Amino acid sequence: MPVATPPLEDGTVITEHDRIVWVGPRVHAPAGGRDEVLGEHRIITPGLVNAHTHLELTTMRGFLEDLPFFEWVRTLTRARAEVLEDSDLRDAALLGVAEGLRAGITTFGDTGASAAPFDALRALGARGVAYREVFGPDPAQAAAALAGLQSQVSAMRRHATPLVRVGVSPHAPYSVSNALFSAVAAWAAQESLPMAVHVAESEAEDALVQRGEGPFADFLRGRGIAVARRAPGSVPLMRATGMARADTLLIHCVRASAEDIRAIANAGCGVAHCPASNAKLGHGVAPLAEFVAAGARVGLGSDSMASNNEMDMLAEARTALLQQRARTALPAAAGFSARSAFRLATLGGAEALRLDEEVGSLEAGKQADLVVFAIEPTSAPAPDPLAALIFAPRGTRVERVIIAGEERVRDGRVAGFDPAVADRVHAAAGRLHQWRSAELAR
């Protein structure tokens, strides 16, 4: 399944060190080298791309169910600060990467408030961009917040590798002032750092940005921060503060107008569409078909385990496809076939993260990031392997995952992953639930 070109039956992929050197039908494959036959009912695909996640929050799976968005964000933020230690964040990030790898994800776009995701990606040999988060809704604290971010990022950059890069993420309009957006955008441009930002996600965010009202406005005023109408919408706010650059990843974009979509496509920004998270938190369905039609660089994100609660890009692609068909009432709206949904989970994600010259498809010259799926012929709708992957993912199983030519997963086992990490994450999740019960009893 090369993605950039049509599927090949009896295909062969030839790799050399960390690169793909040849892709084509087996009958034409050049001889020589070690040859491995995978056998029947196997699909070789490029590594899947999760364009947006929060690996350090894997502990929070199922922690905050069914809360309104403002309360969800506030409780999550307080719990992270009051309950989780640095070691908990490290364990959560490792478990998150392992879960993603087992599901065939080789490239992660992570936004994190700590260096834990960056360290976990490197430790398990995964690829990705670790966007370091910065928060600061009070404009008076913008300079201090930027200085803090600069020192954290320079420490991370000393350990960046060809596989794991560093970016920055001013979190969202409700947690970052205009002054901080502008300051980070200017510094990131100067340093050639990619950026990511949560944007146009919720009604509560719109109320704050467009009218200076709603739960976020009340909360900020309660902390003595002046709140006024900031922009006609979050996308115009990103443009006004210099955030809407070609190497910026805009996360969510649920509440994007036709004008916003044009502006995002023209600016060349990436978009991380998170269909399960947006639906689960009750934010609605993003205009994905319109983004794709406008030529925007769109990929799929799982978002954090606090709002999904699993990391599976095939499930995400299926949800995205079904939502758009349901929303538009067209059987193949804007080309939403299984093939285009699978493209979003691979090459689209690579484009959104600006890594598409390296990964996202099986092409000579690209990195050898490969997944081997085994198909159960009785539970998957053969003979169309793409329909199997997208519409019957339970009939498929990740058999092997290779990143930059190195095998990272075989038959569910992640190389270098200590199973004790999962036990510690389970224990930390227990402490979170205790904290929450005590809060509710108060």
Give the range of 18-26, 155-163, 298-306, 363-371 binding Zn ion by CB under 5 A.
Answer: 298-306
Q: Which is nearer to Zn ion, 306 or 390 (CB)?
A: 306
Shortest separation between residue 175's beta carbon and Zn ion, angstroms = 12
120 near 383, Cβ under 8 Å?
no
Q: Which is nearer to Zn ion, 113 or 180 (CB)?
A: 113
Q: How far is CA 441 from CA 61, 67, 72, 356, in A?
A: 22, 17, 18, 50
Shortest separation between residue 245's beta carbon and Zn ion, angstroms = 19
257 near 238, Cβ under 8 Å?
no
Q: Which is nearer to Zn ion, 206 or 303 (CB)?
A: 303
Residue nearest to Zn ion (CB): 303
Residue 436: its H or E element = helix 420-441
Number of residues forming the site for Zn ion (CB under 5 A): 1
Shortest separation between residue 274's beta carbon and Zn ion, angstroms = 7
Give the range of 28-36, 300-308, 340-348, 375-383 binding Zn ion by CB under 5 A.
Answer: 300-308
Q: Give CA–CA dist 351/360, Å, rounded.
A: 8
Nearest to 320 by CA among 288, 272, 350, 280: 288
Shortest separation between residue 72's beta carbon and Zn ion, angstroms = 12
Q: Which is nearer to Zn ion, 303 or 358 (CB)?
A: 303
Q: What is the DSSP secondary structure assignment for residue 201, as one 8-state letter? A: -
Shortest separation between residue 36's beta carbon and Zn ion, angstroms = 38
Give the range of 13-21, 86-94, 299-307, 364-372 binding Zn ion by CB under 5 A.
Answer: 299-307
Q: Which is nearer to Zn ion, 52 or 366 (CB)?
A: 52
Binders of Zn ion among 301-340, rule CB under 5 A? 303
Shortest separation between residue 96's beta carbon and Zn ion, angstroms = 13
Give the range of 31-39, 170-178, 296-304, 358-366 binding Zn ion by CB under 5 A.
Answer: 296-304
Q: Give CA–CA dist 312/302, Å, rounded.
A: 7
Q: Which residue has the tokens 């976990």?
A: 120
CB count, 10 Å around CB of 325? 15
Give the range of 127-135, 152-160, 283-291, 295-303 binding Zn ion by CB under 5 A.
Answer: 295-303
Shortest separation between residue 95's beta carbon and Zn ion, angstroms = 18
Q: Give CA–CA dist 162/367, Å, rounded.
A: 11
Residue 209: HSE in the Cβ half-sphere, 13 Å Cα cutoff: 25
Q: Which is nearer to Zn ion, 95 or 362 (CB)?
A: 95
Q: Give CA–CA dist 369/409, Å, rounded.
A: 12
CA angle 175, 288, 306 (to 5 degrees): 45
Q: Which is nearer to Zn ion, 251 or 402 (CB)?
A: 251
Strands 413-414 and 406-410: antiparallel
Binding site for Zn ion (CB under 5 A): 303
